[in-house]
């Protein structure tokens, strides 16, 4: 590679300053020529605000990197070395629908693996396909670094269905978990002293930890984080999206593995649902909060004197996502062989999942991509959940590609966060109608539902 | 084998007349010397009533078979050729608890794979172990023909954990399904004209059907049974335990496989739950109905002139169970190589399940046991559910053997019919306390729960 | 199906009378309208001789079945219900080359799984492809009943590579083994009293046997057949192709499985090779003997009074092949659900082989095809051999399809009957040149070899 | 860990100076307190010579490490942190038998995976068992770093059969391969610039190589090493044990993987055998050469002025073995997370091998052991060979543990380097008798063979 061209789809995102901060932090590792921020018409205003700020950041860092703002995706992709994806089809309004429509029927919305996350996959996967179609033509050697959620499903679609093997899927959750454990052990964030081993699916993994002396300290970290005597307010803060509901300490202890923070939805389904219903009643769902935060952020970004990432962005929730993307890029460019937790081809890393599935596992990031480290088999209790979640992902991806309503219903039926039955059907139907604009693959079915009187009225 | 000795554990069951009818029907295939009906003290009265009737049936059939009634299990097992198990630890009162305690908390009871069925496994598996311990000593070559529910878990415990490979697990559900299809095709019950292929787990399987001409008619049978225009009252009657809630025709059609009637609980979870909550409010749960039926049956059995199975028994719900047991015995004795659906070692029959799991699959019943027919892999939607159910079974069996409370909680957590969280914990705790007498392996935990004020009060 | 149309490719074979005898024997099960015997120009004379005889057999049986002799394969395939394949590309002269060229270099020829068998696969698989191409157009619902050797590889090519799932591969070896055991137990040939279970690959399988009482008698049959005190001349006769070299009794006993008679080549490689080299020196290879027998047979067939299968045909060696084909056809037509040993999709029947491989396993033959019975896993010693043989088959099939010389060399390299190295290369090269006419896919490579001076001179 | 105690079994080996050089080179990483060199009575003289020299090396390096020479293995093991094994049961005389007896019968000896290597496993595995038995008692937390050959089988026995999971098996071959490629790319030995990925079994693996830019250069390295125009004398030198016979370039190119240098025995079996037979005729087998070299080395070691590893040791052949052991120890002690190629539990790293097998794969060496990197599946040609070799290893290990003669014969039968049959039996029998002293587990069988006249006469 010569000097790098990086294209960021969804460049108008409020996260863009974090991404730029990440690049700037790695200026010695990354010889960047140009960064193209791409967005769509509806996002033009935000793109211009955040793009101007990004340019100020580059200038403040005294770098000669070009920053291009464009609505022309093909121009951005042309000869790119890296394509990062941080777009949100339908913007935050879509997320609000994802979360509130299920809650209206008394059902968990959950913007990643629940009904909401499935609909996000339905909207996103066709767009990923069209990006990859362009990449095949315009930048056939580029890496796709995806952090659009649901990151695991999007990565599986990209690699297994659309054939872009040079895809790496990212998530900030493993980073947050590592930093929590680091803090408990008196270590700096991003310290590499502890050895972490993660395996599972995006937003659905477990991990183990060893110290420098070779002792497994998983148990100790469980005690530190989830011990019975720890008051909820003293529990370590996870990602902003998830209420800090305490896990069942005895259960986690018995599992002998550190759960992903999203496991609360599965280990405490009814309790979490009650909490979300409460928030819903108060018009206080996560998406609604995020929207308010975003508005505030863009107000800040407009300040022509702001040339660094404001601390308020950390409260947004997606912290470390963009940094992870920068680190993956730096690892590939420099063959750093750093161990990161990424969504990549399973190939036996987790014995309980299909060979060609995408798994989220600790991997060695080399200049030729991710080399996953073997995890082995899970015990029954984790294995069963993992397998049904993978099956749910497979059905969802298939539905996203084919637009088949019954395949989507299968995904709904087997999703452990959804109680199948009449209400689930109503949720599914209303979500389809509400997201009509972004679900062209379901156009016929949506028309049929509308003709039967299904409507979305907020 | 010379003349056969058969020992029936739980001989005082109301099903015993069906079992005897089954034996008598096969008198030309089965050269029986003695049948031992075994029961426990609490079942003595019933044993004597139904035992006397069984003797009348033998006499009416003009057979010289000896019928022994005993509370001495070891005497019954001594040199037995076949041991059949139809006992219910805790009798029907235990089933009532299994069903009503969860419903009290707004959760599905479901006496086979739900919380109720799990507790039935916890009570039954230790007893199966003690029977097998005796068999190792007293009748090391005997076959164990199990139709105590949950039949799949009990069989897995018997074979995989207690090492009794000469175990065959039975269920009447596949027979009922076959007879429904036979009826649609204008065939007699038990006709072997159609070719049925079943695979999955006990009370959780799918099947396909072919006609004599080699055409798959699965789709046609789906239409016949679950077609949209069929009024619920015209739908074929399944087993008595399950409300005749119509399946989602489009979904079943899309799956392309005939579901087990118990799949209603998984495909229509919330709808079925609402129905059960309704019944519960009216003191009308299945267990309560069954208890009333049983009382009526035993009144009938007392009639010294009754020497045949009364038609009222068919309404009891377990129809064909005992007949299946007789047929398995006849197939083994005569090497009939009949295809039956039984719980047996998977060994690759279903590619999605562990090699050493017990699966319920169409098998060829020979004089040396069951030879399963290859099913292959399921598609995503079935595969995921099957795998989590097997994992749930594994955790439940392990909890039944070890008495580990957290393992049991894992089983609860991953069971798709149970929403994990505070209420699930309350259900689990109350069930433990309620079944105290029959859960010695959990004695310490139950004492702890009681000391914390957990009680069962009906 | 109405009245049946059967097309037999390679109709001029000396086996045709056995095939007709098989059909006639099953006249009550098979409502045949027409049988088309197809052959190529070079086989026309033989076709006419054996075709005339076949017509005499039909007449003698007083049947109205039409017998058509043709060189027009497409006419024969048009609307056929069953297509049977018994052709030999290159006729017996090709087999002579297969056997003698390796022996010339001191290497096993072995007309099925050795170098010879691999070249037979290279010649046959392209022809099978062209037949299937025609079938897709002319008889899309027909069954392909293959007994052209190497039957396993041809069946794998047909199903896995050419997509004709309605293929069943046959072999007479399992039948011979069953009849040997039957004879030892005092039973008639084709008795179904014993229960046989076979698994492996064509000409490379093992089996177990149980008696009517459910006892495994594998050990006893091993003693009867391979006991140390049995003189070679008293050993049961297997197929004519294989010298009756005694197995190592202790080894077979330790394996605990009955080997296929072809296992002599693998268990006694050097001893068998010495024997074959001896025969080769005396111009007495199996192919040479067969050719002489065939000439005699056709002389017999010319007799206008001969209207039944002459006993001399049994000495030809392939006995039961055709009968097996007739039985498969009768089982499909009548949904007889008979257990036969056939080459069919593995799908987990043998846990040690790929899911989509073709395996030779005991299967239930229904009107919709073969339903294999689960075998499970082999122990190490069998597993390793089985796996390398499957890999060898895969490379050979790939080479047959692609004409890739290096892929063929891979197959040679891993074949346990071939010692890789310079001589193996010479064998491979000379076989390629010798079979030039029938290996169009290797045309370029053969031209290159010829230009380097490789020749075949008998 | 505090200051380290290291016990080296087979301390009297000629390699000991390399081991000490390795430790000394890593003096900053390894805080050693004591090194115990253990040997048996027969090795006492050598132990004293090489032990004295080791002490001189420590002194010259100005270190305070204690060096103990002992025949008391238990004293050495007591509280050890690391146990390294470099012993040779039966010394070089045994290896001479391993190599020459097969050659006497015209069969490959091959001291690792052939008949010779199998007998080395038979002699070594019982000793490893007794070491582990002692370790369980005396140093339950120690790591076993094995480089006694056959390293893969010994490691599998240690981990899978004797339960010592803290075992890491080593080999120098991957290091040699890496250094060859490094040299071609103009890099220093042990450079970590290239990315190597190895998978397979000990002395039977393949590897791929990528450069710093992320391009796979496997093909290029194949060309460099095995290109057609390269004269044998210009081919890179591998290990001393293996003649530098050129590989078949086209075949290797087609495989697309770099073979292990031992693959010559499998890809060129007959050619290699001819070469070895030649050497045998001239009393010039590898073992004979090595014995002469060793004698010379010990003469050198006697020099009281020699206090560094003499360059002559590099000619011995096992170069890098000891260094690899030191590096593994340093990686564990310091949690270096270095990627090394070791024998460790497969757990899915290679999809084609059993989960609980030992594989030789690129692994991340941490303070808690080896974390293998996922390789995935091999293609047919490699898969088949790998699988039969693993099966051969399993049978050999089982025979080593049980002393079962027929299990050993199974291993012989399936080993691709051995042609089964009468001569193979003679080889096996003579090897058993020749190694009588070191094969107590086969005592009865050997007595029987001797009574039948089997003798070893050199």
For chain A, say whether D374 makes contact (Cβ under 8 Å). yes
Alpha helices in A61-114 (DSSP H): 73-77, 91-104
**CB contact at 8 A, C142 and C166:** yes
Using CA coordinates, name the residue in chain C closest to D388. Answer: C384
Q: Does D111 touch chain C (CB under 8 A)?
A: no
Please give the pLDDT value at position B317: 62
Please tell me whether C203 is known to bind a ligand.
Answer: yes
Least confident of A447-451, B251-255, D107-111, D202-206: D107-111
**D126 part of a folded domain:** yes
Across the interface, of C335, C350, C373, the residue whose CB is closest to B212 is C335
Q: Is the pLDDT of residue B238 over 90?
A: no
Are residues A85 and A45 in contact, defined by beta-carbon separation less than 8 angstroms? Answer: no
Report if residue B139 sits inside a domain.
yes
β-strand partners of D363:
D340, D372
In a domain, D252, yes or no: no
> What pLDDT sits at residue D1?
65
Q: How far is A272 from chain D (nearest CA, A)?
A: 36
By the CB < 8 Å criterion, does C31 face chain B? no
**Can you tell me the mean pLDDT for D11-23?**
94
The answer as to whether B268 is a domain residue is: no
A212: chain D residues, CB-CB within 8 Å: 335, 367
Lowest mean pLDDT among A301-315, A401-415, B87-101, C266-280: A301-315
- Measured in angstroms, the CA of A307 and the nearest CA of chain B are apart by 46
pLDDT digits (tens, 9 = 90+) for D182-196: 999 999 999 999 999
Cβ distance C419 to D270 less than 8 Å, yes or no, reads: yes
What pLDDT was estimated at residue D317? 62
**Lowest-confidence segment of A197-211, B282-296, C340-354, D169-183 by average pLDDT:** B282-296
The better pLDDT of the pair C39, A241 is held by C39
pLDDT at C279: 87
Q: What is the mean pLDDT of residues B124-131?
A: 98
Let me know if C267 is a catalytic residue. Answer: no
Structure tokens at D426: 């003679």
Per the CB < 8 A criterion, the answer to whether D74 and D134 are in contact is yes
pLDDT computed for residue D454 by the predictor: 97
Element (H, E) at B206: strand B204-210
Strand partners, D200: D205, D360
Identify the weakest region by mean pLDDT among A306-320, B61-75, B97-111, D166-180. A306-320
3-state SS, residue B139: coil
Q: Is the dihedral of CA B447, B450, B456, B457 positive or negative?
A: positive
Ordered DSSP codes for D218-281: HHHHHHHHH-TTS-GGGSPP--TTS--PPP-HHHHHHHTSEEPGGGHHHHSHHHHHHHHHHHHH
On whether A139 is known to bind a ligand per the annotation, the reply is: no
ipTM of this complex: 0.96
Flag whether D281 is in a domain.
no
Counts of helices then strands in chain B (DSSP H, E): 17, 12
- How far, in whole angstroms, is CA A14 from its chain's centroid? 15
Cross-chain CB nearest to B332 (options C214, C332, C369): C214
State the chains in contact with C (3 or more Cβ–Cβ pairs under 8 Å).
B, D
Number of domains in chain B: 1
What's the longest Cα–Cα distance across chain D? 66
Report the C-alpha gap between C12 and B117 in whole angstroms: 65
Question: In the block, which residue shows the tokens 């030999």?
Answer: C88
**B411 lies within 8 A of chain A by CB:** yes
> Which positions in chain B touch C210 (Cβ < 8 Å)?
366-368
What pLDDT band is residue D455 in, cutting at 50, 70 and 90? very high
What's the mean pLDDT in A102-126? 92
Q: Which domain holds residue D164?
A: 4-170
B212 in any annotated domain:
no
CA C173 to each of CA A338, C180, C268, C317, C373: distance values in angstroms, whole numbers, following the listed order: 57, 11, 19, 10, 19
Cβ contacts (< 8 Å) between B337 and chain C: which residues?
Answer: 195, 339
Cβ atoms within 10 Å of C41's Cβ, excluding its own: 8
* B26 inside domain: yes
Which residue among the candidates C15, C226, C262, C265 is catalytic per the annotation?
C262
Between residues B240 and D277, the one the model is more confident about: D277
Distances (CA, A) of C143 to C139, C140, C159, C363: 9, 9, 12, 16
At D288, the pLDDT band (50, 70, 90 cuts) reads confident
User: Taking all residues of chain A, what is their mean pLDDT, rounded to a whole number?
Assistant: 94
pLDDT surpasses 90 at B119: yes
Residue from the list A267, A380, A419 with its beta carbon closest to the beta carbon of B395? A380
Q: Give C113 to chain B, closest Cα distance, Å.
A: 27
Q: Is the pLDDT of residue B242 over 80?
A: no
**Per-residue tens of pLDDT for chain C, all 458 residues:** 689 999 999 999 999 999 999 999 999 999 999 999 999 999 999 999 999 999 999 999 999 999 999 999 999 999 999 999 999 999 889 999 999 999 999 998 877 789 999 999 999 999 999 999 999 999 999 999 998 999 999 999 999 999 999 999 999 999 999 999 999 999 999 999 999 999 999 999 999 999 999 999 999 999 999 998 888 777 777 776 777 788 999 999 999 999 999 999 999 999 999 999 998 888 877 777 888 888 999 999 999 999 988 888 876 666 787 889 999 999 999 999 999 999 999 999 999 999 999 999 999 999 999 999 999 999 999 999 999 999 999 999 999 999 999 999 999 999 999 999 999 999 999 999 999 999 999 999 999 999 999 999 87
Residue B149 annotated as part of some ligand binding site: yes
User: CA D14 to CA D16: how far, in whole Å?
Assistant: 6
Contact of A75 with chain D, judged by CB distance below 8 Å, is answered with: no
For residues A358 and A345, what is the distance between their CA atoms, to the nearest angstrom? Answer: 5
Whichever domain contains D53, its CATH number is 3.40.50.720
Chain C residues whose beta carbon lies within 8 Å of the beta carbon of residue D102: none
Contact C104, C273 (CB under 8 A): no
Backbone dihedral angles phi then psi of residue B294, each to the nearest 5 degrees: -60, -45
A358-412 tens-digit pLDDT: 999 999 999 999 999 999 999 999 999 999 999 999 999 999 999 999 999 999 9
Establish if D84 belongs to a structural domain.
Answer: yes
B266 inside 8 A of chain A by CB:
yes
The reported pLDDT for the residue numbered B231 is 83
pLDDT tens digits along A9-45: 999 999 999 999 999 999 999 999 999 999 999 999 9
Higher pLDDT, residue B279 or B200: B200
Cβ neighbours of residue D432 under 8 Å, at least 6 residues apart?
A: D405, D439, D442, D445, D446, D449, D454
Interchain contact, A364 vs D376, CB within 8 Å: no
Please report residues of A whose CB lies closer than 8 A to that of B271.
Answer: 421-422
pLDDT at residue D16 in the model: 94
Select the residue of A405, A414, A420 nearest B384 (Cβ to Cβ).
Answer: A414
Looking at residue D376, its pLDDT comes to 98
A215 interfacial to chain D (CB closer than 8 Å): yes
- How high is the pLDDT of residue A317? 62
Partner-chain contact B420 A269, CB within 8 Å: yes
- Per-residue pLDDT for A431 more than 90? yes
Interchain proximity D195–A366, CB inside 8 Å: yes
Residues of chain A with C-beta less than 8 angstroms from the C-beta of B381: 391, 395, 407, 410-411, 413-414
């Amino acid at each position: 590679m010569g000097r790098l061209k990086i294209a960021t789809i969804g460049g108008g995102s409020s996260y863009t300053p974090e991404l730029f901060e990440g690049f700037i932090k790695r200026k010695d590792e990354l010889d960047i020529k140009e960064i193209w921020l791409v967005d769509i018409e509806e996002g033009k205003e935000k793109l211009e605000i955040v793009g101007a700020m990004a340019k100020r950041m580059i200038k403040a860092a005294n770098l000669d990197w070009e920053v291009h703002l464009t609505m022309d995706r093909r121009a951005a992709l042309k000869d790119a070395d890296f394509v990062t994806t941080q777009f949100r089809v339908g913007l935050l309004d879509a997320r609000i629908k994802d979360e509130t429509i299920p809650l209206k029927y008394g059902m968990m919305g959950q913007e990643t693996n629940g009904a909401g996350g499935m609909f996000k996959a339905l909207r996103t996967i066709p767009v990923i396909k069209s990006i990859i179609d362009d990449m095949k033509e315009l930048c056939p050697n580029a890496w796709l670094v995806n952090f659009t959620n649901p990151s695991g499903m999007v990565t599986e679609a990209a690699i297994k269905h659309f054939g872009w093997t040079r895809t790496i899927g990212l998530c900030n959750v493993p980073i947050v978990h590592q930093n929590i454990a680091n803090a408990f052990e008196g270590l700096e964030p991003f310290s590499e002293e502890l050895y972490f081993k993660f395996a599972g699916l995006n937003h659905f993994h477990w991990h183990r930890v060893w110290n420098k002396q070779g002792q497994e300290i998983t148990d100790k970290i469980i005690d530190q984080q989830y011990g019975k005597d720890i008051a909820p307010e003293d529990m370590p803060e996870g990602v902003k999206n998830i209420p800090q509901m305490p896990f069942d300490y005895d259960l986690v202890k018995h599992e002998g593995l550190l759960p992903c923070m999203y496991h609360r939805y599965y280990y405490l389904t009814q309790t979490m649902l009650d909490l979300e219903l409460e928030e819903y009643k108060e018009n206080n769902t996560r998406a609604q909060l995020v929207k308010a935060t975003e508005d505030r952020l863009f107000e800040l970004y407009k300040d022509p004197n702001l040339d660094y990432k404001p601390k308020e962005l950390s409260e947004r929730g997606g912290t470390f996502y963009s940094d992870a993307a920068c680190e993956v890029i730096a690892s590939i460019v420099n063959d750093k062989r750093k161990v990161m937790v990424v969504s990549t081809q399973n190939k036996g890393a987790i014995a309980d999942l299909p060979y060609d599935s995408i798994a989220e596992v600790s991997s060695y990031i080399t200049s030729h991509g991710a080399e996953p480290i073997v995890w082995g088999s899970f015990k029954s209790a984790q294995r069963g959940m993992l397998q049904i979640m993978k099956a749910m992902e497979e059905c969802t991806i298939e539905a996203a590609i084919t637009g088949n309503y019954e395949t989507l219903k299968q995904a709904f039926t087997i999703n452990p966060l959804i109680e199948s039955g009449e209400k689930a059907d109503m949720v599914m139907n209303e979500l389809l109608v509400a997201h009509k604009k972004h679900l062209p693959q379901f156009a016929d079915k949506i028309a049929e539902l509308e003709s039967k009187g299904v409507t979305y009225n907020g």
